[in-house]
Structure 1
Amino acid sequence: MNDASYEGPAKTIVGILGGMGPSATADFMAKLVARTPAAMEFEHLPLAIWSNPEIPDRTRALLGLGPSPVPSMVDGVRRLIAMGARSIAIPCNTAHAFLPEIRQLVDVPFIDMIRATVDAIVCEYVGVRSVGLLATEGTRRAGLYAAECERRGLTLVNLDPGEQGAWVSPAIHMVKTGGDLAVARLGIRKAAQRLHQLGADIVVAGCTEIPLVSQDATQIVSIVDATDCLASAVVLQSVGHVC
């Protein structure tokens, strides 16, 4: 077959808007590959990837402390569309707070990470009623999981601001900046334990940095990895089933 006869991949291209942060995007890509039912390399999904670590901080924007990430995110989405993407996945929970605004500026469907995670809880954890949240302060303030849990009849359990500031926010920062991951793991373990004490049946790792340091927390309570839920949703949309 010569180049002139090639008409592009048979499967629809999915665009990945990443870089928020780079380690989390790499983790998402690994989980996407693992979730794809492929025996050979050509059975994997065709992807367009734009990883831009210069997108302004989403939490700072939501707290009124920094510029909006929307222009950079829209630029990234448009680049992905130009690469042939017909749907977009964003492996960053907090970024989903800006989706309503972004949807007004681009004409492409998004695979919603928050909805995919809560849908997975409802489908896979029968009987669960209370869900603990480990996330950025921006995700908490935006009420992303609160709204989706309410829609599905679940109660969301949050840490108080002091606990969030002592354990979760520093852990996320350590992953993003290459800090002491042992300290980060301890913080996430303490946070998960506290959520369990507050009545959470399970806990959502609702920031893409958290699954990178949640191994110890799984010894206390079941952790639902939002990154993995998004990866599964992408595969399910593309091929109809997942590994």
Structure 2
Amino acid sequence: MRMLGVLGGMGPLASAEFMKALTLETPAERDQDHVPAILWSDPRVPDRTAARKHGGEDPLPWLLRGIRGLEAAGCGAIAIPCNTAHGWFAEMQAATSLPILHIVDAAAADLRRQGVTSGRIGLMGTTATLDMRLYQERLGIECITPGDALMQSHVMPAVGLVKANRVAEAYAPLAEVARRLRAEGADAVVLGCTEIPLGVAAGPALEFPVVDTVAALARAAIAWALAERDRAG
């Protein structure tokens, strides 16, 4: 089986959580049953939201540097546990022959796993992810998003708390936003920033279906790895 490449560091805790999920979700009885993986965790990648929203430094050269490193290591596919980085998905995929597992496709698969195939989906993410319409245009289900006021008062500060390792403090604002989306008619809520599931997991479980995009991407990576194993005989 070829290595899975993980292009991470955006942020570091989300990447570490992805590696944990990759391990816990794999059907394994021994070390050798797990997915061989290489984590390229580079927190120096410029801020993706600042690049899209405020003309900040372009992260693409840094993303491509990571992809080249994973190619050189012999990886067979790449997973990127950062939703906003998928705003550069087309450019990254064009720069490599390796398949890049799209996090929105992983989220869609997780919705199907939970029996949610229609209706309305609550969508939480960074302002850049929502503005780029990464989910709205690829998910295939109507999305409800938080208003600008909630994004500025709750979601983005909570994402910052997780990045600052103040994870427990992020729970209350994130849970409030998710419950508001549910009250507006969402059948499930997609946690479309890989910091958000970490904050939501720091408190009592929400009372409705949610998609943890970190875990969803890990399951997609496992599916790729198992298919590779089958092809290898």
Same fold (TM over 0.5): yes
Aligned equivalent of 2:231? none
Is 2:185 aligned against 1:199?
A: yes
Deviation at 1:182, TM superposition (A): 3.5
Deviation at 1:128, TM superposition (A): 4.3
Deviation at 1:238, TM superposition (A): 0.9
Q: Distance in 2 between matches of 1:182 and 1:148?
A: 31
User: What's the secondary structure of 1:148's corresponding residue?
Assistant: coil
Matched to 2:195, the amino acid is: E
Match among 126, 149, 174 for residue 161 of structure 2: 174
Aligned equivalent of 1:230? 217
Cα deviation, 1:28-70, whole Å, max 9, x if unaligned, reads 0000001111100011111122110000111111113311110
Deviation at 1:240, TM superposition (A): 4.2
Matched to 1:206, the amino acid is: G
* Count of residues in Structure 1 that have an aligned counterpart in Structure 2: 227
Q: Distance in 2 between matches of 1:170 and 1:53?
A: 19
Aligned equivalent of 1:36? 26
Q: Distance in 2 between matches of 1:197 and 1:29?
A: 33
Cα deviation, 1:173-230, whole Å, max 9, x if unaligned, reads 0000123x34310000110111011111110111111111113473343211011110
- Give ranges in structure 1 of 5+ residues lacking alignment: 1-10
Runs of 4+ in structure 1 off by over 3 angstroms are: 215-218
- Kindly indicate whether the alpha-carbon contact (under 8 Å) linking 1:15 and 1:89 is maintained by their aligned counterparts in 2: yes
Which TM-score applies when normalising by structure 1? 0.89
Which TM-score applies when normalising by structure 2? 0.92
Counting only pairs closer than 5 Å after superposition, residues 126-141 of structure 1 correspond to structure 2 as 126=116, 128-141=118-131
User: What's the secondary structure of 1:219's corresponding residue?
Assistant: coil
Q: Distance in 1 between matches of 2:73 and 2:210?
A: 35
- Kindly indicate whether the alpha-carbon contact (under 8 Å) linking 2:161 and 2:170 is maintained by their aligned counterparts in 1: yes
Q: Distance in 1 between matches of 2:168 and 2:221?
A: 31
Report the CA distance shift for 1:12/1:135 in structure 2 as closer, same or farther (over 3 A): same
Aligned equivalent of 2:111? 121
Aligned equivalent of 1:210? 196
Q: Distance in 1 between matches of 2:197 and 2:120?
A: 20
- Kindly indicate whether the alpha-carbon contact (under 8 Å) linking 2:190 and 2:210 is maintained by their aligned counterparts in 1: yes
Report the CA distance shift for 1:201/1:217 in structure 2 as closer, same or farther (over 3 A): farther
Deviation at 1:149, TM superposition (A): 2.3
Task: Return the index of the structure with the highest Cα Rg.
Answer: 1
Matched to 1:148, the amino acid is: R
Q: Distance in 1 between matches of 2:130 and 2:216?
A: 19
Identity %: 35
Report the CA distance shift for 1:211/1:162 in structure 2 as closer, same or farther (over 3 A): same
Matched to 1:22, the amino acid is: P
Report the CA distance shift for 1:51/1:127 in structure 2 as closer, same or farther (over 3 A): closer
